Chain A
Amino acid sequence: MRLIIRRITDKAFTCLTGTSIVLLTLVLVIILGPMVWRGAKAVIFKDTIEFRKMQLDLYNRGSSEDLNTEIAEAKNVRAVVYEIINKFKHGIDTEELIDKSKQIYRQFGKELRYKGITSEEYQKIRSLARDLRDRLQAAFESNDKKIIKENIDYVLQYRRNEYFVDTTAAEFFTLAEDFYKTIENIDLNKRQEYAASLQQIEEVIFQLLGPKPDEPLPALTMERYGATRWDLAVKLLDKLLWSQQWIQKEAGQPLVKIRFSRAEEFAGTKLESLFGYINNNFDKMLKPEFRFYWQYFIDDSTPGHYFGGVGPEILGTLLLTLLAMLFVFPLGVISAAYLVECASDNIAVRIIRMCINTLAGVPSIVFGLFGLAFFILFFIPLFGGPSKPCVLAASLTLAVLTLPVMIRASEEAIRSVPQAYKEASLGLGASRFSTLVKVTLPAALPGILTGLILSLSRVAGETAPILFTGAVALGPLPKSLFDPTRTLSYGSYDIAVGDRLAMLVPHQQYGMVVTLVLLILCLNALAIILRAKVFRKLKGG
């Protein structure tokens, strides 16, 4: 009976531990899985022709000849889009039409001045032209087809007028005729809606295809290219084909989101064909290709991390982390050695030990402010350095932040070195110092390295301490210890708080976070291999 109970409890224990491990793994997968999945999209994705254009322009990658033929092909397909929009716009954009009529009127006035006519005649023609302009304006602004027809007819009766034939003013008549043709199929009451919708459509097309071929290149790099990624392009296409509106269906009910087909919205107009065309020729316009963008890890990025990779961020993170380790390793080991080997157990030492334990729990932002107040404003200027955020201050702050972890781990490691080792060394006539250096520390090295690994992981991912002491969102690689640097942690923070950008480049944000995780993993793996080597050496491998 007893034996059975014992077996059952044994099994239950095994099950419990097994379950907890499975749970742990699941949690890890649930947390890390989606992040890694999204982060991987920063490297492995379907690119578009815009991406290849950008790569060629910014990083000089790929063959320009191949790309040019591709661009030419895409350009032909795209030209139709712009044509359709332009045609539709003539009939719809009141302000543009009014502007145009005003322009014609002004141009015509200038022309008249150099014609060599009497001032009386000039005044007469001029007022007639003004009359035509006002009539057109009235027609453009009106929603009543009757009034429009009246005005247009009024204008068109001057078509054969001798004053206007073969002058700039002749454009008045083409404008009038075009407008008349366009509005024939349009519900004029909807003109405002059309205009607003068209503006949206144009914006989406701009995001999709980049600036129009004949327009000058925008100043911002991020506006020079259309959708560089196929997933983004598909999203934009959806936005193009469907408009979303929040509508209250019944009084007292919350608003609901409803998708309207834009093709239906523009049914019967010249724009209707646009949606079908874009939908059918989407591939030809953007020419998607599968891409493994490994250069993500070495590329610099454009402002706001809109294009490019995380090369400088990786370098900066490595630099800060390794420098911090460089500071914290000797300091931590020496402090730990003092606490274990030299300090007697008095009140002062107890207070020191308590302080170290408390420091380990202080929020990192406090260390950031400390770094700003101490290192940047006091310590570095004390030695003649510049009083500004820099790599040195940031790594020193990180070192201070992780010092308690290092001290505690090293202390434990040194304490756990068998007394026999120390006795053997002392028994051979070694001084306490040489015993510490030659026997105790080498034997404690695996434990100390564990402390280093813990510190490393913490330091590499910290954002708050470097916020004020040496991280920037944008900037060149640091050329000396007195320059600020970009880091992965601060970069992802920056993208996240960069409001609009975070929505536009989710892959960048996740990519950066996953890169950080991978980087820490690699550093840890290196340290663990090192520790295993040391351990094997100690165990006599």
Chain B
Amino acid sequence: MEIKETINTIIGEFDNFDDWMDKYNYLIEMGKSLPLIEDKYKTESNLIVGCQSRVWLHSSYADGKIFFTADSDAVITKGIVYLLIRVFSGHSPTEIIEAQTEFIDKIGLREHLSPTRSNGLVSMIKQIKLYALAYKTQESLES
């Protein structure tokens, strides 16, 4: 599925929720149930430092695609992290670099994007794009 299609699917899922509580219950469910990263990748170097919750992001590259795994110590953040992985993992560096991230706003989670929240989400999107840029540069140097 293309990045845009996944984003539209996610927006569709969130449209079903009438109020914020259902939305958060869904995120919490995602956050609780999904093991997103192997413990060996929860290293200092994979840590994206936010003010309040910690996020670990690990990337690997195979066949021109980047695969992400991640985790957070806060459940809501973990739920949002899961959404980001759904969107970005398994895509090429170029697709990731060019992807729009406004869907976080569209599904009504804008408050998590505010820099004052400092929950690592903004840094995480930045980091995902940075990885994509790094792999792309590496790719072009090797070819």
- A and B are partners in one complex rather than unrelated chains: no
**B residues engaging A (CB < 8 A)?**
none
